[in-house]
Chain A
Amino acid sequence: MIYLSMTLSKISRYVLLAIFNALIVYTIPLALTFESWFFLSLTLVIGILVNVVYFTDRFQPMKWILPGMIFMISFVVFPAIYNTFVSFTNWSTGHILTKAQAISVLEDRVFTPDDQKGLEFEMYILQDQDLKFYYVANLDSDNILFGRAVSDDEIFSTSYATHEPSLFINGEFSIPDGFYQLSGKEQIANSTTLQELSLVIDQNTRAQLYKISVFGASTGRLTSTSQLYTYDELNDVLINNATNSICPVIKDNFECDGNEIEPGWRVYVGGENYRKLFSSQRIRGPLNIVTKWTFQFALLSVIFSFAVGLLLSVILNKDGLKFQRIYRSVFILPYAIPAFVSALVWKGLLNPDYGVINSWLGPLYEILDVEPVKWLKTKESARSAVLLVNTWLGFPYMFLITTGALQSIPKELIEAAKVDGATGLQSFWRITFPLLMVSISPLLIGSFAFNFNNFTLIFLLSGGGPPIVGSEVSVGWTDILISFTYKLAISGGRGNLFGLASSVTIIIFALVLIISAISFRYTKRLERIYGNI
């Protein structure tokens, strides 16, 4: 029986390994075709590790650790390395592809030589339920072509038009089921879209809408197309067949007659992104502001929420005080709610026009005779609001940990101080507080590190706004480094500047490293102090 279960586990192990290896083998050629060298190396490393560990019995402990380790390496360690690599490239909108991919995109482009515009014929324009356009081209009674009308981008992925003589019964056009025929007026209304579309008849021939007729059938025209660009591998230039000009490579684009041809491709640019960050005035300025605010935000958030939490725990730390349990459970609530909900709710409450905060403060504004605060719309109000909300989010945690720490401080120490004649405040600042800090300060540093990258709050509450005017990239007064990175890479409205964003990430990595190093040194020092008590 034991023997059987042994072989069973062995068999299942080999079956799992076989499946795993099949996946690896399947991935490698694909990674090669797409030239994802980083992905390829990751696959190979994982593949070799798994096989070595599970086929041999030499690395027993690794059998336990490897599954978790694979995920940690693939999605934490590897991205960090990859991020460094990306920060040395020009990877951004317009430079997403590799050179080979860009060339193949360019070689797919077509143009219509002027002398190739020919035969005219009747054309009918249809639409299906998904509002996609279809053309029917009545070349002659033997050649009735039907198919989807596509834009230039889709030409190579679409199938050719089909012959559908059944669409004409006794010379009269009949609309196929499930389609709607556009009237002349509707064609005019859609003319800009329709002019871009063509019915693909064969490799070089397309039918396009030529003249729209309000009554009866519109006119289509056949056009021949030829390849617009040819790549000359020997000289590494692109030839524009329409103008016969030669387009050389300028860094990461081909350039025809002084114009950059999109798309370009990604190349290694050395330290250019870092140079941009530190020397381009319109990026360096905002980066300075953001970095400074990141530190201020994290530090003030910790100080405020710690102050409130400490105050409350000291106040409630009193024998015989009623309702203690109720207070405690209420104070936990803001911490228990997911931050993404709280941030959005506060955004609503702070709304300058409809929000309840301003309607509360209304009388105060009247007494002081001031304009209502435009919460989140000005630099100062946005920064105060972000700190206010983060204090609300953070004080319960501080309350919980300081309460725990207070209760663990021996009562005798306080009693002894009292006997020696210390007042309540004196014994608090001289004895309770320093002892408290011993156990709390590592947690405060942890909280600082957390808020240093508190993307959710900033992004959902203020969106980093209000914008800093005059910056070359999209950035606001409450943006912290990580939300600044997000705007650069994903949502800044200036395209995806992946390379530049990665270089900001490297700065964050460096700062987090420094914070952690300080935290390690500091906590060790505190442990020594604690050990001496």
Chain B
Amino acid sequence: METFKFFNWVKEYGWRHFVALIFVTFAIYPILFVVTNSVADFANLTNSKLIPEGFTLKHFKLLSSDPLVPYFKWLYNTYKVALIAAIFNVFLGTLAAYAFSRLQFKGRRASLLTLVIVQMFPSFLAFVAIYLLFFQISDIAPFMGLGTHFGLILVYLGGSIGFNSWLIKGFMDTISPSLDEAAKVDGATEYQIFRRIIAPLSRPILVVIFVITFIGIYSDFILAAIFLKDKNLWTVAVGINTVFIDDFNADWGVIAASSVIAATPIAVLFIFFQKQITGGLTAGSVKG
């Protein structure tokens, strides 16, 4: 009777656990490997033991003290660029979304369609043209030319604003128009309706869009790589690539530590907003 019960369990549940565990290993092994190596005394690539012998923070200390690898400078640059770009992106996207959602005008549908079509092409596709454009801007206005954070932020601003306004507009459409009509009767201006009613009610989607945009810019490699030449201005994505030099004779512990620092905040943010992010992306993809 007992064995029958066990077989029944295996048939119903056991094999599911078995398969799931295989993929748990697949999913988590590289992550655990990096995390443990970042605190292991003798970190190396070959060591397949996941439980390190001897706990140490020396790799993190080394990372902050090597003048040739200004890692925390890169981290600061990344947060700076991603924060500024994401804030303005959401702000400008919200303004446009309001007009698309609440104002009636000629060409509204056409412009919305244009937005969708333009956003089919990721902005980095034309990176050659962006590079040459900013190469020339460097002559005219060096403060926003090639190699500057300002220029890079401008490019990021253009990159996802269409898609973002589209998503925000979709959310604003679900806010009952009776609210702003009532406000209009009371003599509120367009700006007041936006500021006092629509924008506050849209906050949930704005937070999600902000997080998605922030993560997107944080993780961007190609534009930052063509834009930033000065080591001190690099973002983490560009800089970390030089820490991972090809033959891996470099200290693997430091490499692991740099990965952990770069990945953890984003992973936490992502898991926290996981439902909204996949939901938002889904909605966007279905519509787009």
Give complex CA distance A122, B241 in Å.
50
A9-31 interface bits toward B, Cβ cutoff 8 Å, 1 = contact, 0 = none = 00000000000000000010011
Do B241 and A344 touch (CB < 8 A)?
Answer: yes
Q: Which of chain A's residues have a CB closer than 8 A to the CB of B98?
A: 64
B236-256 interface bits toward A, Cβ cutoff 8 Å, 1 = contact, 0 = none = 110011001000100010010
Q: Assess whether A433 is interfacial by the CB under 8 Å rule.
A: no
Q: Which of chain B's residues have a CB closer than 8 A to the CB of A443?
A: 282, 285-286
Closest to A28 in B: B140
Q: Which of chain A's residues have a CB closer than 8 A to the CB of B174?
A: none
Residue in contact with B259 in the complex, picked from A27, A345, A354, A502, CB distance below 8 Å: A345
Do B31 and A334 touch (CB < 8 A)?
Answer: yes
Q: Assess whether A429 is interfacial by the CB under 8 Å rule.
A: no
How many whole Å from B156's CB to the nearest CB in chain A? 8
How many whole Å from B173's CB to the nearest CB in chain A? 15
Do B30 and A392 touch (CB < 8 A)?
Answer: yes
Give complex CA distance A335, B277 in Å.
12
Q: Assess whether A533 is interfacial by the CB under 8 Å rule.
A: no
Residue in contact with A336 in the complex, picked from B19, B157, B226, B270, CB distance below 8 Å: B270
Knowing A76-B118, A336-B271, say if A346 contacts B30 (CB, 8 Å). yes
Do A64 and B96 touch (CB < 8 A)?
Answer: yes
Knowing A76-B159, A337-B266, A501-B128, say if A404 contacts B92 (CB, 8 Å). no
Q: Assess whether A218 is interfacial by the CB under 8 Å rule.
A: no
Give complex CA distance A67, B164 in Å.
14
Q: Assess whether B26 is interfacial by the CB under 8 Å rule.
A: yes
Q: Which of chain B's residues have a CB closer than 8 A to the CB of A337?
A: 31, 263, 266-267
Q: Which of chain A's residues have a CB closer than 8 A to the CB of B161?
A: 68, 71-72
Q: Which of chain A's residues have a CB closer than 8 A to the CB of B136?
A: 34, 36, 39
Residue in contact with B13 in the complex, picked from A320, A449, A509, CB distance below 8 Å: A320
How many whole Å from B78's CB to the nearest CB in chain A? 10
Q: Which of B216-244 contact A (CB under 8 A)?
A: 218-222, 226, 236-237, 240-241, 244
Binds B, one of A125-133, A190-198, A311-319: A311-319
Q: Which of chain A's residues have a CB closer than 8 A to the CB of B31?
A: 333-334, 337
Do B141 and A27 touch (CB < 8 A)?
Answer: yes
Give complex CA distance A56, B236 in Å.
45
Give complex CA distance A320, B16 in Å.
12
The A interface, classified by DSSP as helix, strand, loop or mixed, is helix
Binds A, one of B62-70, B99-107, B202-210: B99-107
A55-99 interface bits toward B, Cβ cutoff 8 Å, 1 = contact, 0 = none = 000001111110111011111111110110010000100000000
Give complex CA distance A330, B271 in Å.
10
Do B20 and A39 touch (CB < 8 A)?
Answer: no
How many whole Å from A168's CB to the nearest CB in chain B? 40
Q: Which of chain A's residues have a CB closer than 8 A to the CB of B105?
A: 60-61
Q: Assess whether B72 is interfacial by the CB under 8 Å rule.
A: no
Give complex CA distance A61, B197 in Å.
18
Q: Which of chain A's residues have a CB closer than 8 A to the CB of B46?
A: 354-356, 359
Q: Assess whether B130 is interfacial by the CB under 8 Å rule.
A: yes
Do A340 and B16 touch (CB < 8 A)?
Answer: no
Q: Which of chain B's residues have a CB closer than 8 A to the CB of A312?
A: 19-20, 23
Residue in contact with B133 in the complex, picked from A82, A322, A330, CB distance below 8 Å: A82
Give complex CA distance A455, B126 in Å.
13
How many whole Å from B157's CB to the nearest CB in chain A? 4
Q: Which of chain B's residues have a CB closer than 8 A to the CB of A321?
A: 13, 16-17
Q: Which of chain B's residues have a CB closer than 8 A to the CB of A341?
A: 240, 259, 262-263
Give complex CA distance A345, B237 in Å.
13
Residue in contact with A65 in the complex, picked from B95, B120, B137, B241, CB distance below 8 Å: B95
Residue in contact with B262 in the complex, picked from A72, A338, A455, CB distance below 8 Å: A338
Q: Assess whether A184 is interfacial by the CB under 8 Å rule.
A: no
Knowing A39-B140, A315-B20, A443-B285, say if A485 contacts B128 (CB, 8 Å). yes
Q: Which of chain A's residues have a CB closer than 8 A to the CB of B154?
A: 71, 74-75
B120-162 interface bits toward A, Cβ cutoff 8 Å, 1 = contact, 0 = none = 1111111111111100110111000000000000110111011
Do B128 and A332 touch (CB < 8 A)?
Answer: no
Give complex CA distance A74, B222 in Å.
19
Knowing A356-B45, A442-B286, say if A344 contacts B240 (CB, 8 Å). yes
Do B237 and A340 touch (CB < 8 A)?
Answer: yes
Do A76 and B123 touch (CB < 8 A)?
Answer: yes
A422-452 interface bits toward B, Cβ cutoff 8 Å, 1 = contact, 0 = none = 0000000000000000010011001001000
Closest to A85 in B: B129
Give complex CA distance A416, B264 in Å.
46
Do A316 and B16 touch (CB < 8 A)?
Answer: yes
Q: Which of chain A's residues have a CB closer than 8 A to the CB of B248?
A: 348, 351, 354
Q: Which of chain A's residues have a CB closer than 8 A to the CB of B28?
A: 330, 333
Do A490 and B131 touch (CB < 8 A)?
Answer: yes
Q: What are 30 of the A-B contact pairs (CB < 8 Å)?
A: A36-B136, A36-B139, A38-B133, A68-B96, A72-B118, A75-B157, A76-B159, A80-B121, A80-B129, A82-B132, A329-B271, A331-B27, A336-B274, A337-B266, A338-B237, A340-B241, A344-B240, A356-B48, A401-B278, A443-B285, A453-B124, A456-B220, A456-B222, A456-B237, A459-B222, A490-B226, A509-B125, A512-B120, A513-B120, A516-B117
Besides A73-B158, A315-B19, 12 new A-B residue pairs in contact (Cβ under 8 A), listed by A number? A39-B137, A67-B92, A83-B129, A332-B271, A338-B266, A340-B221, A345-B259, A354-B44, A392-B30, A446-B285, A489-B128, A516-B117
